[in-house]
């Protein structure tokens, strides 16, 4: 099953907790960033965004503050607010943290047993996203798949740390995908990880996840430079 394309229901994305209106505004800004409509380094002007979305500046300001906490947005008293610039040093630092923590979290999750229904939904979502052209949905599906791999590691602090990297890793991923066109290769790697995880091969799943991140590091270098 996990070698072939399948379709299924899409689970909900993790969203900033600003209330329904704030969530919508934050997600519209996030969508614009992760689809490349707002480019790295672009200024995020409250008035312009408010006019575009048909709202006041206050909820836009709150949304930008929330997104700043995720790593998607940079704020400076001198330069104002802008889309975070992705460079090789930052991207490789995120990969390094993931290499240190995520394979072990996955190993522990598989040992305990994945939530089969939630994992299946995340996998199906990812496969559906691979077949479509929506970069934003691809990003959301990618993070949902990875989260289901580590969510049952039985260490809530570890889960929180990895969750805290998701938005920043999403920005890195879409930047690399745009420049290196690497998502198809990553999708094949995901299938191999899924097969090992679902068959209870904890060490194999962890090793394949580690290899997946290491290959992504190389893609970062190819796309962004660095050493």
Q: How many of the other CB atoms lie within 10 Å of CB of 51?
A: 13
Rounded Cα–Cα distance for residues 134 and 53 (Å):
21
Examine the domain organization and report whether 28 and 118 are in the same domain.
no
Q: Which residues pair with 141 in a beta bridge?
A: none
Sign of CA dihedral 63, 121, 148, 177: negative
pLDDT at 226: 65
Residue 14 is assigned to a structural domain of this protein = no
Length of the chain: 227
**Kind plus residue range of the DSSP H or E element containing 48:** helix 46-53
Mapped onto helix, strand or coil, the DSSP state of residue 39 is coil
Which of 152, 144, 155 is closest to 115 using CA atoms? 152
CATH of the domain at 202: 1.20.120.530
Examine the domain organization and report whether 215 and 164 are in the same domain.
yes
Q: Which of the listed residues 83, 100, 122 is the one where a domain comes to its end?
A: 83
Mapped onto helix, strand or coil, the DSSP state of residue 168 is helix
**Kind plus residue range of the DSSP H or E element containing 73:** strand 73-76
Q: Which of the listed residues 43, 68, 83 is the one where a domain comes to its end?
A: 83
pTM, 2 dp: 0.82
Residue 7 is assigned to a structural domain of this protein = no
Residue 71 is assigned to a structural domain of this protein = yes
Q: Is 10 left (phi over 0), alpha (psi -120 to 50) or beta?
A: beta
Mapped onto helix, strand or coil, the DSSP state of residue 81 is strand
| 174: containing domain | 88-224
Rounded Cα–Cα distance for residues 62 and 65 (Å):
5
The single residue listed with the structure tokens 């090992």 is 196
Q: What string of pLDDT tens digits covers the 227 residues of the chain?
A: 444 333 333 233 334 454 577 788 999 999 999 888 998 899 999 999 999 999 999 999 999 999 988 889 998 877 789 999 999 999 999 999 999 999 999 999 999 999 999 999 999 999 888 888 788 888 899 999 999 999 999 999 999 999 999 999 999 988 888 776 656 667 889 999 999 999 999 999 999 999 999 999 998 888 888 65
CA 50 to chain CA centroid, nearest Å? 26
Rounded Cα–Cα distance for residues 143 and 163 (Å):
9
Residue 172 is assigned to a structural domain of this protein = yes
Q: Which of the listed residues 83, 100, 125 is the one where a domain comes to its end?
A: 83
Rounded Cα–Cα distance for residues 3 and 136 (Å):
24
Q: Which residues pair with 74 in a beta bridge?
A: 82
Rounded Cα–Cα distance for residues 163 and 150 (Å):
10
Q: Which positions ≥6 away from 2 have C-beta within 8 Å?
A: 123, 191, 194, 195, 198
The number of folded domains in the chain is 2
Examine the domain organization and report whether 151 and 206 are in the same domain.
yes
């Amino acid at each position: 099953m996990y070698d072939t394309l399948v379709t299924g229901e899409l689970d909900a994305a993790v969203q900033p907790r600003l209330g329904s209106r704030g969530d919508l505004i934050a997600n519209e800004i996030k969508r614009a960033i992760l689809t490349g409509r707002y480019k790295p380094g672009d200024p995020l002007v409250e008035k312009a965004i408010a006019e575009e979305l048909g709202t006041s500046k206050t909820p836009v300001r709150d949304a930008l503050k929330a997104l700043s906490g995720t790593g998607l947005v940079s704020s400076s008293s001198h330069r104002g607010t802008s889309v975070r610039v992705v460079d090789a040093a930052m991207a490789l630092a995120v990969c390094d943290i993931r290499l240190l923590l995520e394979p072990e979290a996955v190993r522990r999750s598989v040992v305990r047993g994945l939530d089969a229904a939630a994992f299946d939904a995340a996998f199906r979502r990812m496969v559906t996203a691979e077949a479509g052209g929506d970069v934003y949905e691809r990003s959301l599906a990618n993070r949902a798949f990875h989260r289901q791999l580590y969510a049952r590691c039985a260490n809530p602090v570890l889960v929180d740390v990895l969750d805290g990297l998701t938005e920043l890793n999403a920005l890195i991923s879409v930047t690399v995908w745009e420049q290196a066109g690497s998502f198809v290769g990553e999708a094949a790697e995901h299938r191999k990880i899924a097969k090992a995880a679902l068959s209870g091969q904890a060490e194999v799943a962890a090793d394949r996840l580690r290899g997946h991140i290491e290959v992504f590091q190389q893609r970062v270098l190819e796309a962004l430079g660095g050493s």
